[in-house]
Structure 1
């Protein structure tokens, strides 16, 4: 246990927050100072008491549900507040805080893996997570509300940039759709179907529109949303299909199918304002460079 830390005062919050940065219950249990069976029972109890799923499971991998993401973020904030209070009581200086923004589709894999491995070597840093569209992340950098972002496309030249990887754009269909069993599909083959989409603030939406135009049609959009998981949920409900950035969120109700086009992917990377970047942000960039040199392609999300 982390005696003398907020986790010893609020173990349930520590367990919930650990799920946000670890891919298995076993690792989350170790991070929060408990056992895997204890954490598994705790998750089941939370879900039973609250009436909604905290996590989704695929084999041994665990991903937070949409509701779980909200609760885990609140748990992390609460732990930080308690830790700050403990430091104040002891007369200690505040821990450095680094605000990192990222595209939602890059959260479970790229942001989670990069930040988790960074914090293992820098446990003194508090990382604040912020999700947003590419436009929202760019505005936040410009206004100094974020220190560094994981985003696409490449921002204006005045901002720093480090490429991290490539992300596929895939066709997301209901599990019973005729394309669900295909390895790939040409968008022209689904031109007559109803489409669901992210709103136009998102780089992924603009790229999806361009892919459809290259296939010779304008998609018939029947619903727009500002949340990737919301669009996927409507696809699962059979309301239509969608061109979305690939992610690692497991789903038994939808299938992601590769799009037969050389343009069905985008590059993404770290962006920052060189005039505002704190030293801990520079450390995160150096850590990303080290990881990329040691594990080429680690950040690619290719379907």
Structure 2
């Protein structure tokens, strides 16, 4: 039995007449009869009572009719959704991205892309880097804006930004006027940072460890804007990418960190060996085109 058999069964059940149903479906009576036999065989029961004027649904047939209507509607909806996903003009891009690029890089990319493809939609996921990798592996996300670069044997990569890392300090802090600062100079400061589990939290912990100290946490958050405002209020210092927080007048002052490791690469990534939807292919082509910002 095929889905089309159920679709034909619905028409036959609504007309309760073999000749009329065949005419509606544009098929022959014998073909429709064979389709009905397949449906009855699949359910192991007669679904109609034969009468001299036509057919009449029996109780089993009414149960199958309800299921057939529900099933064919669901199949049609799924087919329409898949067709929309496969449409490069109006499909959906499943994109994951880091919390720390949510206020700058990602909105800028989406705004630029939507100017060229306004009908394409996005299913967005804002999450830590380890969850992004998991979603790329499972297919929950097709593309991701993340950092650092994941395993090059498994994931493709296009560099988008090489972010300079800064020590954010209160506006009246002694280090606020410096052109750059060694992280070790902030070893005695209370730190405001992301909660454990975030990829950038690991970056900061590794930088502090390399500088010879373990930061004392004054507060841990999931939001960069909150961290920026708390620094501006004088509650501590924080390590953040330059320009990661926009549209704030907190007063927090970024001072570039010294050292070649005081940077973070952010890029577009995807699972190798997996075909992207046409909409996702179009977005990747747009992002990786020579005209888009990229630092190497």
Normalised by the size of structure 2, how large is the TM-score?
A: 0.64
Q: 2:254 corresponds to which residue?
A: 256
State yes or no: 1:267 paired with 2:279: no
1:175, 1:155 → 2: CA distance? 36
Give, in angstroms, the shift of residue 160 of structure 1: 2.2
Matched with 2:220 is: 224
Match for residue 97 of structure 2 among 99, 102, 114: 102
**Alignment equivalent of 1:209, drawn from 205, 209, 221:** 205
Q: Does 1:118 align with 2:113?
A: yes
Does the Cα contact within 8 Å between 2:225 and 2:245 map onto a contact in 1?
A: no
Tell me, yes or no, if structure 1 residue 181 matches structure 2 residue 177.
Answer: yes
Picking from 224, 235, 239, the partner of 1:239 is 235
Q: Does 2:145 align with 1:146?
A: no
Query: Which residue of structure 1 lines up, in the alignment, with residue 283 of structure 2?
Result: 284
CA distance in 1, matches of 2:277, 2:201: 32
Conservation of the 8 A alpha-carbon contact between 2:92 and 2:280: no
Quote the offset at 1:162 in angstroms: 1.8
The separation in 1 between residues aligned to 2:125 and 2:172, in whole angstroms, is: 34
Secondary structure of 1:233's aligned partner: helix
Rounded to whole Å, the distance in 1 between the matches of 2:281 and 2:158 is 12
The answer on whether the counterparts of 2:224 and 2:245 sit within 8 Å (CA) in structure 1 is no
Which secondary structure state, in structure 2, belongs to the residue aligned with residue 210 of structure 1?
helix
Partner secondary structure for residue 178 of structure 1: coil
Paired residues, number: 207
Q: How does 1:28-177 map to 2 (within 5 A)?
A: 94=84, 95-156=90-151, 157-177=153-173
Whether the aligned pair in 2 keeps the contact of 1:164 and 1:270 (CA below 8 Å) is yes
Cα deviation 1:167-212 (Å, max 9, x = unaligned): 1221111222222222211112111111112123222211212222
Cα distance 1:242–1:279, how it changes in 2: closer, same or farther (>3 A)? Answer: same
Alpha-carbon distance, 1:144 to partner: 2.1
TM-score by length of structure 1 reads 0.62
Any idea what the Cα deviations from partners look like across 1:272-301, whole Å, max 9, x if unmatched? Answer: 1242521211111111121xx235xx356x
Q: Please report how far the alpha carbon of residue 150 of structure 1 lies from its aligned counterpart in structure 2 after TM superposition.
A: 0.4
Conserved? CA contact 1:144–1:276, under 8 Å: no
Structure 1: distance between partners of 2:247 and 2:118: 30
Unaligned stretches of 5+ residues in structure 2: 1-76, 85-89
Deviation track 1:229-281 (CA, whole Å, cap 9, x = no partner) reads 22222222222111122215143321111001111001121111242521211
Alpha carbons 2:104, 2:246 under 8 Å: kept: no
Is 1:294 matched with 2:296?
no
Q: Which residue of 1 aligns with 2:186?
A: 190
Tell me if structure 2 keeps the 8 A contact 1:110–1:299: no
